[in-house]
Amino acid sequence: MSNPSILILPGDGIGPEVMTEVRKVIGWFGDKRGLAFDISEDLVGGAAYDKHGTPLHDDTMAKAQEVDAVLLGAVGGPKYDELDFSVKPERGLLRLRKEMDLFANLRPAQCFDALADFSSLKKDIVAGLDIMIVRELTSGVYFGEPRGIFKEGNERVGINTQRYTESEIARVARASFELAKRRGNKVCSMEKANVMESGILWRDVVNEIHQAEYPEVELSHMYADNGAMQLVRAPKQFDVILTDNLFGDVLSDCAAMLTGSLGMLPSASLGAPMANGRPKALYEPVHGSAPDITGQSKANPIACILSFAMALRYSFDSGDEATRLETAVEQVLADGVRTADLMQAGDASPVTTSQMGDAIVTALEASL
């Protein structure tokens, strides 16, 4: 039987730097835990545009459809700001999500005890925080038609269309309920049913799926603007938050900062099961390409490493090994190892990107 396959797309900015550290971790699991992977690598984003004139070559897209998981670093940067919208680096990522039909975006927001003081909220509000936002990823206002900038009379009009079908809502709702069964067994669905017809349909379909298939899971509903307020008032009231593409984009970034640093947060984008039973999947850190620190060995690789931990859990049926990796990260932080983004006044000198990766591998070694 062949090894499971991973396509690595380092991308732009700090993407290649953090992905180098992920490769160290993947290598350790192969050497010490017998988890060998067939690894291939290709270009995405600005790096792909520089070589091919497109942010995602068709051959790369075909590879992504064939592998068991895609691991992506980051895309974008100021050198590409003036490109036409159709070939901006971010279009490569959007094409991956759309053509792989990755409809469920999982964004955990976990506050490690060692970093509770980094949040802008009081420590007792965020200490022990562990929530999961499930964002619908392939429909809604980012993809709805009509869209564009048009001329009406003497002025321009910008149009984007919020559109959801029952089936699109139902499948991401099922993903949320299944995830909740493995966690705290409760889901809070967020929309704007008070002012949006798409929100009314969203709430109706979520209720239907809950009553027919998951009555044992606790379900509540909340308007998304109230949800944003509640995330900063009492975030630990939530376990799984289910929401649409636009609100999920906003709410997940809000939740991200509860933990103190975007450099800490992974994500998974999952689709329908393939022939081997594994879901199509793309894993990536929440942070961007950070062009201001590119090439300076300052980048925090933890979010990308934790994205690989999510791959172990959701694509490779290795939940125990995912926990091993997450525990190693937690131990390194508890030991006071910090990249520059995690420094406070009076701390010792920060470690480099490579040194953080080495520290995590050392902690993995100590776990044996």
> Which are the catalytic amino acids?
142, 192, 225, 249, 253
Strand 69-74 and strand 186-191: the pairing is unpaired
**How far is residue 138's CA from residue 88's CA, in Å, rounded to a whole number?**
18
How far is CA 138 from each of CA 21, 37, 73, 192, 267, rounded to the nearest angstrom? 30, 28, 20, 19, 15
**How far is residue 48's CA from residue 273's CA, in Å, rounded to a whole number?**
28
**How far is residue 322's CA from residue 325's CA, in Å, rounded to a whole number?**
5
**How far is residue 136's CA from residue 139's CA, in Å, rounded to a whole number?**
7
Nearest to 118 by CA among 339, 281, 277, 317: 339
Inter-residue contact 14 to 294 (CB < 8 Å) = yes
